[in-house]
Structures are given as structure tokens and as C-alpha cells.
Amino acid sequence: MTDRILTASELTIDLGRIRQNYRILIDQLGGVPAAAMVKANGYGLGAATVAATLATDGCNTFFVAHLEEGIEVRKALGPDPVIQVLNGAMPGTESELVANGLQPVLNSIDQIELWRTCPGAKAQPATIHLDTGMSRLGLPPDESEHLLANPSLVDGVDVAHVMSHLASADVPGSPQSADQLERFRQLRIRFPRGTASLANSAAIFLGPSYHFDLARPGIALYGGNPTPGQPNPMLPVVRLEAPILQVRHVEAGDVVGYGATHVVEQPGRIATISVGYADGFLRSGSGTAKANVAGIEVPVAGRISMDLITLDVSAVPEQHLALGAPVELIGEHCLIDEVAERADSIANELLTDLGRRYQVRYTDQGA
């Protein structure tokens, strides 16, 4: 019989490894400080808990996407750390940003003007985001030129940082990163306000020329590989396990799951486990995903459904297939980037999609 029995699916988050990953990034940066991306509920792992953990390790700047996320993290951290809101100042939110000590990332001339004229904003620093080629958020080239030609547009704005965001830092061999780097350098020459920030997780490993004054790692903190095609320098943070609900014998010709997409080729065993796409285990992994039982890799058999996954466990000795025996879906044997790749996705999506039905367990074990 197996030594461990689960009564429900369990998500274990190692806060010690998040801290260690932060230190790995700080070492890579060679003295340049790093903020922490804790948007999307800390990449699905609990923004308040992650931020408080990193604050104890010296991190004092945090980025969120939405105002509400910033308010949550502010409550967890107290008044001192810097919290920046990437979506910036939206009409009607200015007073809440000021009241909660949140720094907006200003993405357009309109946002700059909104913030510049907000009562109380003069005492609250802000970041200017200049788009250098992603065509998403940030001042587009025409607005950047308008700002550079009319620097009085930021009169009354305490510019703490000027930032841009790289579109292809995690694409090996892409020339876009070098092009964006040069554009950012030129913009900084003409607009030397505050300090400069460009590097995301992947760009930290592109070299010191990308580091500037503040890096903004995200997925690397949570164990994702910032160096695709190379060994992952980060430590895995998450372990996702689900209990076996049932094991059945199947014969050649039997079909498994919705749509009868899996046809059994020879007699064997199918285990059904208590996780599905409602829990964030992507349905696109049907037919390609793997799991691990007692150190043995097993394939998903058939489609991943809302609450359940079926696995071909024919190769696993029966003593490891008891009711409630744990099956690893993400962890030391099922690395998160590999799990995501099998589902034609990325680690960021996989983490942030993790559902709320798990028993969440925080540990502090580290390496």
C-alpha cells in the first residue's frame, strides 16, 4: 500500500523556494535591485502571502495590474513598500491610488494629464511607460515624441521611474529585444527623468545591458524557466497532487473519456483522479499530458474533463494505486514548463489558471 493518502487535491507552495529564486535573480543582476511581479494573485499562488514573503528577503517594490490588487497587497505589507499599478490611473481611481499610497504606471498622455491634475498626486510618485515596440500599453511613438518635445506635460508629476517592456526576451535568437533596448536607450537620453526599468524575467539573463536600475521579474520567481532552450536556473515552487478516486481494468477495444478519443490497445488499468479543467489543468493537454505515480510516468488517457482526469496506470504496481493514493501533476517529476508545453501553453497561464478547489498548503523548505 502507498504511504500517503489524500482526501482532496492538494496544491503545495514552497515559500522558501520563492525566496531562493529571488536571491538567484539578485545574484544574476549583480547589484541591480529587483521588484517582484505579484499581479494575478501572485501568479495564482497568493499575492499577499508571496509579497510578504519576499518583503522579508529585502524586496521593497511590487507590481500589480489592477487597483484592487494593489489595495490587497498594501494591506498585507503596510505603508512602506512601493506598489506600482501597471494599468495606471483610470478616471475615478485617482483618489484611491493616492489614499492607498499606490504608484500608477502612466501609459498615455491622457493618463499623465489625469494624474498631473489630481489633488494629492504631486506627493505620490509615478512611473512613465514608453512603448518601444510591443504595441500594447505605454506611450506609443507619436505620444513619446510629443512628450519629449513638451516636457512640461509632466510638470507636477514626481517621475520615479521610466519603463518599457520587452516583447520577445524569452524567444531565443529574436532580434526584437536588441532593437527595443536601443530604442529605450535613445528615449532615456532624451528623457532622463527618474530611474530606468526594462528587464523582465527572461531579460535578466540577456546580460547587464538590459538591467538598468530596476528589474521586474515575474514567472522566474515562481519556478518558470526564464532561459528557454537551456537548463532552468530557477527552483520549482509548486507541487500539485490529486488523489486516485478509482482504478479499473480495461480490455483492448474499450474507450475512455468524452468523445471516445482514447481506444485501449491492450488489457491494462485506468485510474481516475480528482482534478480537471475547472481546476486549471488545461483541457488542451488531453492526449499529451503526463502525470507521475510513485516515480513512474503515466500518460493521460482520453480527454481532460471538468473535474476528472483518466490515466493509463498499467505500468504502475497495484500497491501504489490505492484509493486516495497521490498522483503528481506538477512538481519535481512534472516540471511546470514541460506540463505547460504539453498543453500548448506557457507556465504563466498554467499557474494563473490554477483553481480554488485545492487544499492549499504553504511550506518553507527551500532547496
**Catalytic residue positions, numbered:** 39, 258
Please, is 2 exposed, middle or buried when counting C-beta atoms within 10 Å of its C-beta (0-12, 13-18, 19+)? middle
**How many whole angstroms separate alpha carbon 139 and alpha carbon 147?**
9
**How many whole angstroms separate alpha carbon 365 and alpha carbon 331?**
14
**Which of 321, 323, 291, 316 is closest to 304 using CA atoms?**
291
In the chain, the DSSP E strands lie at 10-14, 36-37, 61-64, 82-85, 102-106, 126-129, 159-163, 195-197, 238-250, 255-256, 262-263, 268-273, 290-293, 296-299, 309-312, 326-330, 359-363
Main-chain dihedrals φ then ψ at residue 135, nearest 5 degrees:
55, 45
Straight-line distance from the first to the last Cα atom of the chain, in angstroms, rounded to the nearest whole number: 29
**How many whole angstroms separate alpha carbon 22 and alpha carbon 56?**
11
**Residue type at position 79:** P
- What angle, rounded to 10 degrees, do the helices at 67-77 and 47-55 form? 50
**How many whole angstroms separate alpha carbon 86 and alpha carbon 100?**
15
Percent composition of the chain: helix, strand, coil (DSSP 3-state, to 5)? 35, 25, 45
